[in-house]
Structure 1
Amino acid sequence: MGLEENFTASANQARGFTKRPPDADCLEVYALYKQATVGDTNTAKPSGGELLSKWNAWNSKKGMTQKQAKEQYIAKVAALAPKYA
């Protein structure tokens, strides 16, 4: 499988987790997914709450290529899967 297929398979696997990973891992997976699919943050910084946490996590990936983000996303999901799938 190529990178795109592996990325899609990993995204489907993450959506199918039966247990919720810790918040830090969820934010990392979210940030890598957004960077892989959208690129650098393209919205204004929210004022607070969960949206701010997600935005900060995503913004921490600023400058990372979408290819790098996909590779890291695949690796992160693979690391989480044995415990949370």
Structure 2
Amino acid sequence: MSLNEQFQKVSEQVRNWKTKPSDNENLALYSLFKQATTGDVNIGAPSATNLVASAKFKAWTGRKGMSQDDAKKQYIEMAEKLHSKYA
């Protein structure tokens, strides 16, 4: 199975978990997913009053410079570690 196929399979599993990961785990998964699918941040920073959007933006920005393949690998690794806890 190719990296892209594995990433698609695992990301679909994550969307179907029965319970939601902790906020920190969710932000880490989100930022890896965005880096894997989009690359470096390509949008402006949200308003500081929007706490959720700001946290997501900050997490994604923290992945700047990471290759999309590395982000996919880290996403898969993290999701596999969390799978038994939330699936």
Q: Same fold (TM over 0.5)?
A: yes
What letter is aligned with 2:66?
Answer: M
1:18-76 Cα shifts (integer Å, max 9, x gaps): 01110000000000000000000001111221000000000000000000000000001
Distance 1:33 1:20 in 2: 16
The gaps in structure 2 that reach 5 residues or longer are none
Q: Identify the residue that residue 46 of structure 2 maps to in structure 1.
A: 46
Tell me by how many angstroms 1:2 deviates. Answer: 1.0
Which aligned runs of 4 or more in structure 1 are off by greater than 2 angstroms? none
Aligned-residue CA RMSD (Å) = 0.5
What is the TM-score of this pair, normalised by structure 2? Answer: 0.95
Secondary structure in 2 aligned to 1:50? helix
Tell me by how many angstroms 1:82 deviates. Answer: 0.5
Q: Identify the residue that residue 8 of structure 1 maps to in structure 2.
A: 8
Paired residues in the alignment total: 85
Paired-residue identity, %: 42
What is the TM-score of this pair, normalised by structure 1? Answer: 0.98
The gaps in structure 1 that reach 5 residues or longer are none
Q: Identify the residue that residue 77 of structure 1 maps to in structure 2.
A: 79
